[in-house]
Chain A
Amino acid sequence: MKPFQYLRPKTVQEAVTMATDNPEAQYIAGGTNLVDLMKRGIASPSKLIDINHLPLKKIEHRYDRLRIGALVLNSDLAQHKAVLTRQPLLAQALLAGASGQLRNMATVGGNLLQRTRCSYFYDLALPCNKRKPGAGCGAEEGINRTHAIFFAGNGFGGIEKSSCIAVHPSDMCVALTALETTVVINGPDGERRVMMKDFHRLSTQQPELDTNLGPGELVTAIEVVDNAFAKHSHYLKVRDRASYAFALVSVAAALQMDGGRIWDARMALGGVAHKPWRYWSIDLMLRGQVPSEKLFREVAEHEMEGAKATAQNAFKIKLASNAMVAALKTAAGIS
């Protein structure tokens, strides 16, 4: 591992200045991904800015939204009363991810910024456009069972040679995408807010960049606006083993129901694209409808029209479709 200088700022401003002044510096919070990447030589910051002592650990409900500090631990967030009552979908997604130990270390900000688990990204002997832009993508013609089935825009569009077919590994981010969360960012030019849908990037250009964060920028909080989904939401994760594995496919489904009909709906998928995949037309398709398996099947098949399989992951199209139907049925409370 390359030697680094350890820095421990006390204020957000101090941290941002340190990162802005040192382009080779990296922030570290829980370290569950970055320490791994540093051990493997994939990340090699010359300065490590330990942000764990910044005052970003609060969860508070103010006005119409839940504001969650970037340093709140995944385990604390998953069992926080305000989250359990107002945003149970988020708690479910958090508990579906990682292990007890990792959730005790991982922060909200770090979860947003975790890198793909594509094995080509982690293997320095193999080509990877994300690790080394222009090197090629080992997964495209290689072992791509766990890789993406949605690529650009609304799912239509091809894979470019300079691109990346890895998927985003987070569960939390899938729920946050469905819940239309805002990410609060502090940087050299002050504070700005970005919607979840615009926070992560697709991979058609510059796959080395996972997010739209600028140099020196630091995620300080997320904000989830109150909604009426708490009674009818469900996070379904499908994976190779019963626990402690990344999703092959995951679904965050949230419905607002009244009088046996659906009045509002949100859905996002994990494990299918370079970023959490938001299903945009579900609200239009479900509004005013009585929930049924047939209806949800139509919705799922509509969504999968834009999917494109690689050599080994065609199963994901059927799997995602079935997972959507199952998650929507559970959310709607029908068997």
Chain B
Amino acid sequence: MEPDRDAIPPDAENEDRRFFLKQSMFIAGLSMAPADFLQAALAPDDGPVGNAVKVKLSLTVNGKRKRITIDPRMTLLDLLRENLGLTGTKKGCDFGQCGACTVHVDGRRTLSCLTFAVMQHGAKITTIEGLSDGEKLHPLQEAFIKHDGFQCGYCTPGQIMSGVACIREGCAGSAGEVREYMSGNLCRCGAYPNIVDAILEVKKEGLKV
């Protein structure tokens, strides 16, 4: 089912509303804000609201609804790390080449460094912090420990988020398949054989991921 990205943020505060109205009018006076943009500001329930300086959005991170005001230039990665304090997701290259920033957006593995947070208004995000069940680690986390699937550990959150998705997608049938479908996650320590073993074991045991 299509996630409802235009869902109404239920608890818009009047203070914020006034702030955005004011900001919008300010921008409208400065440049040529289109009329529909002003309308959007008057009805903040309809998508993220704001201007070139600040936008207000709402998204669900690890099951918790977050309402945040940010600069529209902020990537989802920076939002998670800098604003929400979820530093499990790592910034590697910041250009979509290494996979360290992999999170799940509406259930799909995604590079959080290559998407603006404002584009994810209404989305459900899962990070490495949201994978375990309280103190109980996710089976793939356990398997990474068992198989020594890391050395320095910097790429590990991305590897695990990608690995979970890889199993869910049905692309972990063989070592060759895992290597192909995990190729977007680089590991400079070279823990690849152990990462492949960990993923294959979880897949083979048929554990719920």
- Whether a CB of chain A sits under 8 angstroms from the CB of B165 is yes
Instruction: Decide if B119 touches A18 in the complex (CB within 8 Å).
Output: no
Contact with B along A33-47 (1 / 0, CB 8 A): 001100100000010
Instruction: Decide if B96 touches A32 in the complex (CB within 8 Å).
Output: yes
Instruction: Decide if A39 touches B94 in the complex (CB within 8 Å).
Output: yes
Contact with A along B86-104 (1 / 0, CB 8 A): 0000000011100100100
- Whether a CB of chain A sits under 8 angstroms from the CB of B141 is no
Out of B53, B119, B181, which one reaches A52, CB within 8 Å? B119
- Interface segment, one of B10-18, B105-113, B144-152, B196-204: B105-113
| A5 vs B118: C-alpha distance when bound (angstroms) | 11
Contact with B along A238-250 (1 / 0, CB 8 A): 0000111000000
Q: Which residue of A lies closest to B2 (CB)?
A: A57
Out of B5, B119, B162, which one reaches A28, CB within 8 Å? B119
Instruction: Decide if A101 touches B102 in the complex (CB within 8 Å).
Output: yes
Shortest distance in angstroms between B119's beta carbon and chain A's nearest beta carbon?
Answer: 5
- Chain A residues 1-57 with CB under 8 Å of chain B are 1, 3-8, 14, 18, 21, 28, 31-32, 35-36, 39, 46, 48, 50, 52-53, 57
| A119 vs B27: C-alpha distance when bound (angstroms) | 37
Interface size class of B (residues with CB under 8 A): 35 or more
Interface size class of A (residues with CB under 8 A): 20 to 34
- Whether a CB of chain A sits under 8 angstroms from the CB of B130 is no
- Chain B residues 60-103 with CB under 8 Å of chain A are 71-73, 75, 94-96, 99, 102
Q: Which residue of A lies closest to B51 (CB)?
A: A5
- Whether a CB of chain A sits under 8 angstroms from the CB of B194 is no
| A36 vs B115: C-alpha distance when bound (angstroms) | 9
Shortest distance in angstroms between A237's beta carbon and chain B's nearest beta carbon?
Answer: 12
Shortest distance in angstroms between B58's beta carbon and chain A's nearest beta carbon?
Answer: 13
Instruction: Decide if B114 touches A105 in the complex (CB within 8 Å).
Output: yes
- Whether a CB of chain A sits under 8 angstroms from the CB of B180 is yes
Contact with A along B43-62 (1 / 0, CB 8 A): 00001101111010000000
Q: Which residue of B lies closest to A76 (CB)?
A: B108
| A107 vs B83: C-alpha distance when bound (angstroms) | 29
Instruction: Decide if A6 touches B50 in the complex (CB within 8 Å).
Output: yes
| A21 vs B35: C-alpha distance when bound (angstroms) | 12
> 10 A-B pairs, CB-CB below 8 angstroms?
A6-B48, A46-B52, A50-B119, A53-B6, A53-B47, A99-B185, A100-B183, A100-B184, A101-B109, A242-B183
> Which 8 pairs between the two chains have the least Cβ-Cβ distance?
A99-B184, A243-B183, A244-B183, A3-B52, A104-B108, A5-B52, A6-B72, A8-B47
